Structure 1
Amino acid sequence: MSDRPEDSLSKKEIYKIALETRNMEIDLFWKRSNYFLVLNTAVAAGFFLKAGDDHQLPLGLFGLIIALLWLFVNAGGKFWQSRWERRLHVAEEALNPEIKLFSSDWAEINKDVKESIDFSKHSGIRKCLDYLVLNKPSVSFMMELLSIAFIILWVSLIILEVLSCK
């Protein structure tokens, strides 16, 4: 008797577990990001309200630590999301290679999106936004960039605070 999960679970069950876990990872990514965004914003409000106060430098350092943690948490969350998307790809190919939901190649994915956008027949600003969509900006990457922007903000504010104390 084998102890491999594939032996006791059907391919459909494995696929369902992978899909649910991937969706959970995405949900957790956004919950964590929202938490860090709110926390960073609160610390920034405190920093600016304490202008010229002795508490500004500690708040700046705390904000920097929070922003660094945010970046690392984002990267860790993206790691697990990517892992489960890969498992979905593998499970989908084992279940039915014709499905091509997570196992599509980039050419097929881009073709699907372009056909969907062409079907909508947008004009004006919507057509410009469609062009942006076709360039596939990553929403998780944008959140990682936001955490980096906060890191840059905090480093800048700390430097300005240190220089103003001299």
Structure 2
Amino acid sequence: MISRTFFTDILMIAVLIALQIFVLNRITVLGKFTPVLYPVFVMFYPFFRNRFQFLALSFLLGLGIDAFLYTWGINAFATTAIAYFRTLIFRTSTDTSTDFFSFQSLQWSQYLFFILASIFLHQLLVQYTEFFKLSRFFEIFLNVLATTAISFIFILMYAIAFKIKQKV
């Protein structure tokens, strides 16, 4: 298992920002939807690590994305929000009430629901904060659903490639 330190966390954030900005933002599905991969840092960050450091790193990740996309803190807000609510999302998806969290103990359906719920919440916050108009409510919601589905596939490929379920 790879030991995670503050330095490796910063390095992972830099790699995820570069991957998102320079590779994934150039990919569009159906000419409109862009996959989002950078929330994997928040989803798969070890539960036993310092919570305040985790929130600060999540904010830094979102702020890095915002710096390149000129989105004025929208991604920082959404990334920090899913970091803050990650434990609640995990408990909801696993029906657990203990204070010990582990991806190893999850069934695949719980694991997939955790990923799907996290990315859905992230996309909901990003897109409604950026484009919210009551007249475009359903259009934005369809964009959230489509982007969530596309991002879910990319995040699942990432999780399988790096065997996240066994390592975290």
**Fold agreement, TM-score > 0.5:** no
Instruction: Give the structure with the larger helix fraction.
Output: 1
Normalising to structure 2: TM-score of the pair?
0.30
Which structure has more RCO (C-alpha within 8 Å, separation ≥ 6)? 1
Larger Rg: 1
